[in-house]
Chain A
């Protein structure tokens, strides 16, 4: 019923735009799109604002920098902010407005694997499909489901899980307590890690935390009873601080009689503060690079620019994905810029084909996506909580 009416509207808009294009005065202006919008999507508020808020700042900065450099042939890019609050339902509602507006050319995000898995079908079946570049969704199914819209600049669970397990074994792990936080991301990752441990005959016990859990006494009793020397916790972040503080209160001190390896969301120096120091000495791996921790002048310049924009202590509060979010935004914006402009319009289909074919220049160097939309050569980085910051101790290539 609604379909023909929408088509008519689009057709009318097209006629209008064509008319505009016709009246504008020649030359470069013919290549100037009338309107370009992209969306930033992630958990900018809610239980995972700790990873989302910094990523949003990064995307806003990326769009600002891109516009300052001339935008898309002179047209300034408008950024829509879609706060999905880590909920696939909210995400679908937000994406619906982008799907129906042909000037929305792509999404930076969504960040959480669970949200991506709940959205990808809707984005793929839109006419035309709406592409996205995620800065943090690592579940293998994100790009394995055979769609053209999904891209990500971060490494995958099947690279991270084995890398995590191998790191623990290399450090001498004898018995590992493997935990996830009941989300698509953390369960998928913990499964990968557990499988690698099992194949190397390392005894493990599997357990789950709940989103927002604060009381870990039951779990800690089980860790002690199992006699673990390593705790592995795949988590987006907010549960780590109360968990490690209670471990310390119960006599499990990280770096002394227990080792701790967290993932992604736990590569966050604010956990050292919020755990009142109990996190000191813990390791965490990240599927993206921290611009402050890698060599390269572009990354260093970005850190300086970020601090100039948001204040000197902003980087320490920006969470683990403020680098990859900027990187993802750069890739999407460059793909849009490389796409042809016809009658003042850029089509999403062209953006998708440029995302697939082009090589992008980012703060972390050149970036290219493979046929599935995964970044080629994505790295896993191991960090250690030292003093008041997370310090890179090792890079394991993906």
Chain B
């Protein structure tokens, strides 16, 4: 019990860090599912590409000694390029792989999504690097470490949490407070009716893909700064975990994805910390199965209404 109390706060912080990343990626799953009722299984790989874009920018500024640029500006450039690049990639994927199948059998876009996912992984493996690539985070962000009692966390971990939460709040405001947000919600509720109301559904879908993918790109940047290493396979397991988080929260529900992500991160960290690291991943999928059996609409989900 002593052991538990002493280590619980640190494991909680560890879990919140991991969980905010899950939440950021889960939002993408949930946004796209909300609008199109399709699972974009390439989403984890969009995140991976975002991380590689960030690593590329970081590499140019740190290794090639274009050091006239202050570190802060380099980080800002990483964020802009990774979010923009991932966003455009998302839009491109939608245009090429999903739009032609929008009225096809529901399985068809799911299969192209898996195809796109495999393509992105192999493309990065072959054209960029089969081995992990370093993100020189030491040269970009201060290596400050915060101590709070016996809880320790580096600045990059705090950044991961703060930026992720800020983006989630901004997204929530965008969807629920703006005109375009209501267009998104209208499209989610009934695509045909939305068309009759004069909403450009194609444009709404494009913007949704851009937003979802840009969030994933930002996830890639934050991950790179925190863990200093990216590889072509990093999007696979994380994508599945984020999907699990989205389902736990209620797929299609934005606030559900945020809570689902944080919850999954914390639970995973506690299982790893107090039960066994061996069961961490199996636990994630056990949680997925349990939720699907007991409450298939997820914690926050209302079956087939009020999505997005």
A225 to chain B: which residues have CB within 8 Å? 3, 6-7
A7 to B152 CA separation, bound complex (whole angstroms): 68
Task: Give min CB distance, B293 to chain A, whole Å.
Answer: 26
Tell me the A259-278 residues at the B interface (CB within 8 Å). Answer: 273-277
Task: Give min CB distance, A288 to chain B, whole Å.
Answer: 20
A274 to B131 CA separation, bound complex (whole angstroms): 11
The verdict on B228 contacting chain A, using a C-beta distance below 8 Å, is: yes
The interface size bin for chain A is 20 to 34
- Most B CB contacts (10 A, CB to CB) among A49, A53, A249 go to A249
The verdict on A46 contacting chain B, using a C-beta distance below 8 Å, is: yes
Chain B 1-20: CB-based contact to A (< 8 A → 1; otherwise 0): 00100110011001001100
The verdict on B303 contacting chain A, using a C-beta distance below 8 Å, is: no
B154 to chain A: which residues have CB within 8 Å? 249-250
Among A92-100, A202-210, A330-338, A376-384, the stretch in contact with B:
A202-210
A225 to B11 CA separation, bound complex (whole angstroms): 11
The verdict on B278 contacting chain A, using a C-beta distance below 8 Å, is: yes
Decide if A217 touches B18 in the complex (CB within 8 Å).
Answer: yes
Decide if B145 touches A212 in the complex (CB within 8 Å).
Answer: no
The verdict on B45 contacting chain A, using a C-beta distance below 8 Å, is: no
Chain A 163-175: CB-based contact to B (< 8 A → 1; otherwise 0): 0000000000000
Among A238-246, A299-307, A347-355, the stretch in contact with B:
A238-246
The verdict on B98 contacting chain A, using a C-beta distance below 8 Å, is: no
A274 to B136 CA separation, bound complex (whole angstroms): 8
Tell me the B222-271 residues at the A interface (CB within 8 Å). Answer: 223, 227-229, 231, 233-234, 237, 269
Number of A-B contacts (CB under 8 A): 93
A221 to chain B: which residues have CB within 8 Å? 7, 10-11, 14, 273
* In the complex, residue of chain A having the shortest beta-carbon distance to the beta carbon of B278: A208
B187 to chain A: which residues have CB within 8 Å? none
The verdict on B143 contacting chain A, using a C-beta distance below 8 Å, is: yes
A208 to chain B: which residues have CB within 8 Å? 277-278
A276 to chain B: which residues have CB within 8 Å? 134, 136-138, 228
Instruction: Identify A49's interface contact among B130, B136, B152, B281, CB under 8 A.
Output: B130
Instruction: Identify A217's interface contact among B17, B132, B137, CB under 8 A.
Output: B17
A209 to chain B: which residues have CB within 8 Å? 277
The verdict on B272 contacting chain A, using a C-beta distance below 8 Å, is: yes
The verdict on B189 contacting chain A, using a C-beta distance below 8 Å, is: no
Tell me if B's interface is mostly helix, strand, loop or mixed.
Answer: helix
Chain A 74-92: CB-based contact to B (< 8 A → 1; otherwise 0): 0000000000000000000
- Most A CB contacts (10 A, CB to CB) among B154, B277, B280 go to B277
A274-B134 contact, Cβ under 8 Å, with A47-B231, A47-B233, A217-B18? yes
Task: Give min CB distance, B237 to chain A, whole Å.
Answer: 7
A245 to B157 CA separation, bound complex (whole angstroms): 13
A46-B229 contact, Cβ under 8 Å, with A212-B234, A251-B152? no
* In the complex, residue of chain A having the shortest beta-carbon distance to the beta carbon of B228: A245
A245 to chain B: which residues have CB within 8 Å? 227-229
Task: Give min CB distance, A244 to chain B, whole Å.
Answer: 10
A45 to B131 CA separation, bound complex (whole angstroms): 8
Task: Give min CB distance, B288 to chain A, whole Å.
Answer: 18
* In the complex, residue of chain A having the shortest beta-carbon distance to the beta carbon of B126: A45
Instruction: Identify A219's interface contact among B17, B18, B272, CB under 8 A.
Output: B272
Task: Give min CB distance, B8 to chain A, whole Å.
Answer: 10
Instruction: Identify A238's interface contact among B132, B156, B227, B273, CB under 8 A.
Output: B132
Decide if A46 touches B145 in the complex (CB within 8 Å).
Answer: no
B229 to chain A: which residues have CB within 8 Å? 214, 241-242, 245, 274
The verdict on B125 contacting chain A, using a C-beta distance below 8 Å, is: yes
Task: Give min CB distance, A275 to chain B, whole Å.
Answer: 8
A214 to chain B: which residues have CB within 8 Å? 223, 227, 229, 234
A209 to B131 CA separation, bound complex (whole angstroms): 18
The verdict on A256 contacting chain B, using a C-beta distance below 8 Å, is: no
Chain B 135-147: CB-based contact to A (< 8 A → 1; otherwise 0): 0111000010100
A249 to chain B: which residues have CB within 8 Å? 143, 145, 154, 156
A273 to chain B: which residues have CB within 8 Å? 134
The verdict on A222 contacting chain B, using a C-beta distance below 8 Å, is: yes
Decide if A217 touches B131 in the complex (CB within 8 Å).
Answer: no
Decide if B231 touches A218 in the complex (CB within 8 Å).
Answer: no
Decide if B281 touches A210 in the complex (CB within 8 Å).
Answer: yes
- Most B CB contacts (10 A, CB to CB) among A53, A210, A222, A241 go to A222
* In the complex, residue of chain A having the shortest beta-carbon distance to the beta carbon of B132: A238
A245 to B134 CA separation, bound complex (whole angstroms): 12
Tell me the B97-135 residues at the A interface (CB within 8 Å). Answer: 125-126, 130-132, 134
Task: Give min CB distance, B172 to chain A, whole Å.
Answer: 26
B233 to chain A: which residues have CB within 8 Å? 47, 212
A218 to chain B: which residues have CB within 8 Å? 11, 14, 269, 272-273, 277, 280
A-B contact pairs, 20 of them (CB 8 A): A50-B131, A50-B132, A208-B277, A214-B234, A215-B227, A217-B17, A218-B272, A221-B10, A221-B11, A222-B7, A222-B273, A225-B7, A241-B132, A241-B134, A241-B228, A245-B227, A245-B228, A274-B134, A275-B228, A276-B134
Q: Which residues of A contact B (CB under 8 A)?
A: 45-47, 49-50, 53, 182, 207-210, 212, 214-215, 217-219, 221-222, 225, 238, 241-242, 245-246, 249-251, 273-277
The 8 A-B residue pairs with the shortest CB-CB distance in the complex, in nearest-first order = A217-B14, A49-B130, A218-B272, A45-B130, A249-B154, A214-B227, A276-B138, A274-B134
Q: Which residues of B contact A (CB under 8 A)?
A: 3, 6-7, 10-11, 14, 17-18, 125-126, 130-132, 134, 136-138, 143, 145, 152, 154, 156-157, 223, 227-229, 231, 233-234, 237, 269, 272-273, 277-278, 280-281
